[in-house]
Chain A
Amino acid sequence: GESVGLHLPTLSVQEGDNSIINCAYSNSASDYFIWYKQESGKGPQFIIDIRSNMDKRQGQRVTVLLNKTVKHLSLQIAATQPGDSAVYFCAENIGGGSRLTFGEGTQLTVNP
């Protein structure tokens, strides 16, 4: 069945370091992936997306890597800042439409 999950529930980094958050998915038919950031008391906020015909996409300070061979997705955050502290979710879409299936999230803590 559909399944999106994360390897690590928590990640703690020092300010200025690079962060890598991982996500495993099980459905090879997934054709679109999104990373969301959720701060405490707020709804998820779009960070970056990638389609299954790509293996890398870069944004401002963030990079998403997709490895379809091992069904693995990662989010890299460069020069992590205290404002990056939040829970990060990966979500997948299968077969068009708008339905997203979310994983369980990784809590990123940035230490000053």
Chain B
Amino acid sequence: EAGVAQSPRYKIIEKRQSVAFWCNPISGHATLYWYQQILGQGPKLLIQFQNNGVVDDSQLPKDRFSAERLKGVDSTLKIQPAKLEDSAVYLCASSLAQGHYEQYFGPGTRLTVT
């Protein structure tokens, strides 16, 4: 079974630039999550999708972050404009459905904002 795929693996941008991350969840998984993991900390949930609908985006900085999952499969997370404090690893995870607690994580995208 293929795991969660993410791209790119690494990205370096200057502050005020824009960046987008892509995630392809495990086939058949209805729930998709984006997390931000700052170095030395645990992952923090940014947004959760159930199919193509948003379930929880309470911790998403909506003034600069946006995410979509238009067809209920792949998802993109965008930051515009980026700030220095956005430097982190962005993890995508998926689970079978809401209420299924076991989440499968992708390898993450390491973002460096200079």
Chain A residues close to B by CB (< 8 Å):
4, 32, 34, 41-46, 49, 89, 91, 93, 96-105
Contacts and interface: CB of A to CB of B under 8 A. Distances in A.
Interface of B: 4, 31, 33, 40-45, 48, 55-56, 91, 93, 95, 98-108
A34 B106 CA distance: 17
Contacts, number: 59
A43 B99 contact: no
B42 A99 contact: no
Report the 10 A-B pairs with minimum CB-CB distance, sorted nearest first: A43-B105, A102-B42, A44-B105, A89-B42, A98-B98, A102-B43, A104-B42, A103-B42, A43-B106, A43-B107
A49 B102 CA distance: 9
A104 to B, nearest CB: 5
B101 A49 contact: yes
A34 B41 contact: no
